[in-house]
Amino acid sequence: MAKVPVQFRLNGSDRAAFADPADNLLTVLRRGLNDFGPKYGCGQGTCGTCSVLVDGELRLACLTLAASCEGASIETVSGMADGPNLHPLQQAFMEHFAAQCGFCTPGMLTAAKALLARNPNPSRDEIIDGIAGNICRCTGYEPIIAAIESVARGAAAGQRR
Amino acid sequence: MMEFRKDLFSNERDDDLNVVGKGVQRQDAPGHVTGRSPFFDDHAFEGLLHLKVVRSPHPHARIRRIDISAAERAPGVKRILRGADVPVNRNTLLSLINFGKDDEPTLAVDKVRYIGEPIVAIIAESEAQALAARALVRLEYEPLPAVFDVEEALKPGAPVINDIYPGNYFEYHEKYDHQKLRFGDVERGFAMADHIVEDRYQMSPIEHAPTETNGSIAAPEQNDRFVVHSCAQGLFFSLGTAAKIVNLDSNRLHFIGGTVGGGFGGKVDSLTEPLSILGAMMTGRPVRYVLDREEEMLYGSPRGAERIYIKDGIARDGRILARQIRSYFDAGAYTRLSSYAAIKCTAHLPGPYTIPNVASDIYVAYTNRCPSTAMRGFGITAVDFALEVHMDKGAEACGLDPMEFRILNAYRDGDMKAHRRVAKNTALIECVQVAAEKARWPISDEARRQSSLTGGGGARAEIPATPIDENGRINRPETRGGRPTQTLPAGTMRIPLTKQPIMEGSTENRPKAPAVPQYEPYRPAAAAPPPPAPAYTPPPPSAPPPAPAPAAAPSASPAPASQHGAHRFSSVFGTRRR
Ligand code: FES
Ligand code: FES
């Protein structure tokens, strides 16, 4: 199959790759552009380890055709920190021991970021709902929920001040 | 937050621990939260090839024909591997420690023995091309009768699954078809008992389902070596296994790993490394072999299913007088680590209790199911579940509270275990006391006063006279029945050996394994002791279950001779209390 060029912004930089028209975004990010942040866990939309943001919206990269992202702005966990400064969610995941093997963590952080972007002060149930598409097999979900909750409460407290 | 109960055994420990009981940041956390932790698949390679395997659709079949001609001509295909291409196409994982016979091919040649068994490996420029070519491989099979039940597999006349073990059981010490434990006389114990409690427990296979599937990337390196990025949980185990199968000196393999996306035991089998390396050897290019999720779920080895029979004889006052266990480990089609699981299981019996008469026979049976492997306490977890459910049933049979029943039968320091080693560093009583306290489950003051440090030893340290039998002796006409052949006098530590014990498999051109360690001599007791007197008498339960009472902390342990350090909990290699 002839390869086609795809261009998009990846974590703020313009990037381009050649891809099969049938290639999914996950393959192109990982093997085309060497962004190994998003992970392959199932390739069928059931685990959430491949979660990325496409124009600010939470998407499963394994079920997204790369070609459909032409001109889009894509964010992955690799661009989450601001230089050497970790994102508050990253800091909170460390403090709450929310990453054991770390394989689900990129997807969890991305889902959490998307949640807080659209709902800065989510309830516990809304947090659970926000990560419902992400499977973690090691940590258990409590530390992850606690980490996200701490960021949400911190931000809310900051706003009130 | 975890609670560190320093009040328990406090006089046995220097309170100078730097890390235990404190919150410390893990060094891999920054990598995890930034997505930079290097999992095996997170490595870029120029010219990376992809490997996919053709798997058996049959649980048991003879392979009549393998035709790869169409697949070979498919676009992007670089190389196709079959069993004949694998330098050492028969291995067993524990051969690295001279245990067990080589019984499993990397790529099946003449027969397939479970659904999903790999037969042909296709290496192509892209995953899509490898998958397309995989569909072009033509295979002809002659299906054979299959066995899926452990006890069916052990019946005379059952189809032979794994030709290396024609009886469908793993052979222990070239002698027995099971792991055998004999301590005292269970039949005598049952005869003295007031209650007999018997049951059967059946476990299911369990898939580890790590979020990262099994996989590896191998690539030619400078200096005539191959670099291997691996998901392996035991990197050196995998290195040794792969080196044997591809027949390279292990110093020609450069394994990189240790960052594992969840393993839980499912990443010790080296499922992918040998073929990745072989692919890199054959093509001169980097080769990536990763299981997809369906392969991981269906063909990644699970925790083996176990069938466990337990029979307890219990006195009216609640003391367990005899415990007999028969268990069948479902190895699936090949051994992998099941032989070891049965040893662990036997070593764990009869659970953390002092029981004067114990007998167990633990079998590893081959079936036409996916080979099983390690998983979180394998060999122990399932039998522990069965034992503890059985403890509840035993408590019910003699009308005792289940917590009190456990404390009554718990082992204590100085007791003789069924393996003829003296129990040290026991802590079950304290565990039950704390569990009762946390669950606000009322136990009697008497039970709360019990301690692992007192009441053990004495008559409880005696080794009873033990009838032994030849049940399951390999190559005997009678196999699984029969009467005792001999009674070992009380106090006998071990059966006199007719020859130096050598682990099986060591005869196959391998260096001999070191001899089994000898135990310290034990002073034999004069005669078979009576069953030990109860350390205390638990009260009958007030039925219905009593209302929760305010929790009380277990009383402090009486102070034995001064002891220091964390040694109590590091008894694995026989560390003794100081
Ligand atoms: S890899 Fe995309 S959801 Fe699992
Ligand atoms: S930390 Fe391992 S899967 Fe979540």
Residue with tokens 């009554």: B408
pLDDT of residue B3: 76
Residue at which a domain ends, from A36, A55, A79: A79
Residue at which a domain ends, from A79, A109, A136: A79
Number of structural domains in chain A: 2
Averaged pLDDT, B177-184: 96
Query: What band does B532 get if pLDDT is binned at 50, 70 and 90?
Result: low
Examine the pLDDT at A160 and tell me if it is beyond 70: no
Give yes or no: residues A36 and A94 share one domain.
Answer: no
Separation of A89 CA from ligand 1 center, angstroms? Answer: 21
Residue A35 included in any domain: yes
Q: What is the pLDDT of residues B101-113, one digit of tens each?
A: 999 999 999 999 9
Residue in A with minimal Cα distance to B38 = A36
Residue A49 included in any domain: yes
Averaged pLDDT, B356-375: 97
A-to-B residue pairs, Cβ atoms closer than 8 angstroms? 101
Give yes or no: residues A10 and A74 share one domain.
Answer: yes
Query: What band does B539 get if pLDDT is binned at 50, 70 and 90?
Result: confident
Atom of ligand 2 nearest to the CA of B262: 2
Residue A76 to residue B39, Cβ atoms within 8 A:
no
Atom of ligand 2 nearest to the CA of A49: 3
Q: What is the pLDDT of residues B383-435, one digit of tens each?
A: 999 999 999 999 999 999 999 999 999 999 999 999 999 999 999 999 999 99
Encoded tokens for B157: 């006349």
Atom 3 (ligand 2) nearest CA: A136
Give yes or no: residues A96 and A126 share one domain.
Answer: yes
Q: Give the closest-approach CA distance of B120 to chain A in angstroms.
A: 23
Distance CA B577, CA B565 (A): 9
Examine the pLDDT at B320 and tell me if it is beyond 90: yes
Please count the other Cβ atoms lying within 10 Å of the Cβ belonging to residue B129: 21
Instruction: Measure CB to CB from residue B211 to each of A34, A91, A135 and give the nearest one.
Output: A135
Q: How many residues does chain A have?
A: 161
Give yes or no: residues A69 and A92 share one domain.
Answer: no
CB-neighbour burial class of residue B135 (10 A; exposed 0-12, middle 13-18, buried 19+): exposed
Give yes or no: residues A17 and A66 share one domain.
Answer: yes
pLDDT of residue B38: 97
Ligand nearest to the CA of B212: 2
Encoded tokens for B180: 């055998």
By residue range, what is the domain housing residue A115? 88-156
- CATH number of the domain encompassing residue A53: 3.10.20.30
Residue A125 included in any domain: yes
Distance CA B557, CA B452 (A): 8
Q: What is the pLDDT of residues A100-109, one digit of tens each?
A: 999 999 999 9
Residue A103 to residue B126, Cβ atoms within 8 A:
no
Residue A101 to residue B210, Cβ atoms within 8 A:
yes
pLDDT of residue B12: 81
Q: DSSP 3-state assignment of A81?
A: coil
Q: What is the pLDDT of residues B131-148, one digit of tens each?
A: 999 999 999 999 999 999
Q: What is the pLDDT of residues A115-128, one digit of tens each?
A: 999 999 999 999 99
Q: Please list the residues that pair with B172 across neighbouring strands.
A: B176
Averaged pLDDT, B363-373: 97
Distance CA B540, CA B405 (A): 10
Q: Give the closest-approach CA distance of B48 to chain A in angstroms.
A: 9
pLDDT of residue B496: 64
- The percentage of residues in chain B with a pLDDT greater than 90, rounded to a whole number, is 75
Examine the pLDDT at B2 and tell me if it is beyond 80: no
Residue A152 included in any domain: yes
Give yes or no: residues A68 and A98 share one domain.
Answer: no
Asked whether B444 and B461 are in contact (CB, 8 A), the reply is no
Question: In this structure, are strands B358-366 and B179-183 parallel, antiparallel, or unpaired?
Answer: antiparallel
Asked whether B313 and B189 are in contact (CB, 8 A), the reply is yes
Residue A131 included in any domain: yes
Query: What band does B549 get if pLDDT is binned at 50, 70 and 90?
Result: very low
Q: What is the pLDDT of residues B252-298, one digit of tens each?
A: 999 999 999 999 999 999 999 999 999 999 999 999 999 999 999 98
Mutate to test the pocket of ligand 2, among A50, A131, A136 (most ligand atoms within 8 A of CB): A136
Q: Has the ipTM of the complex gone over 0.90?
A: yes
- CATH number of the domain encompassing residue A134: 1.10.150.120
Atom of ligand 2 nearest to the CA of A137: 3
Asked whether A152 and A120 are in contact (CB, 8 A), the reply is yes
Residue A161 included in any domain: no
- The percentage of residues in chain A with a pLDDT greater than 90, rounded to a whole number, is 91
Query: What band does B523 get if pLDDT is binned at 50, 70 and 90?
Result: very low
Give yes or no: residues A23 and A66 share one domain.
Answer: yes
Residue A58 included in any domain: yes
Q: What is the dihedral of CA B433, B436, B437, B438, to 10 degrees?
A: 120
Give yes or no: residues A99 and A34 share one domain.
Answer: no
Residue at which a domain ends, from A45, A79, A113: A79
Query: What band does B18 get if pLDDT is binned at 50, 70 and 90?
Result: confident
Give yes or no: residues A113 and A144 share one domain.
Answer: yes
Q: Mean pLDDT over all residues of chain B? A: 88
Examine the pLDDT at B99 and tell me if it is beyond 60: yes
Q: Give the closest-approach CA distance of A34 to chain B in angstroms.
A: 6
Q: What is the pLDDT of residues A49-82, one digit of tens each?
A: 999 999 999 999 999 999 999 999 999 999 999 9
Q: Give the closest-approach CA distance of B43 to chain A in angstroms.
A: 8
- The percentage of residues in chain A with a pLDDT greater than 70, rounded to a whole number, is 96
Atom of ligand 2 nearest to the CA of B210: 3
Q: Which residues line ligand 1 (CB under 6 A)?
A: A 40-43, 45-50, 60, 62
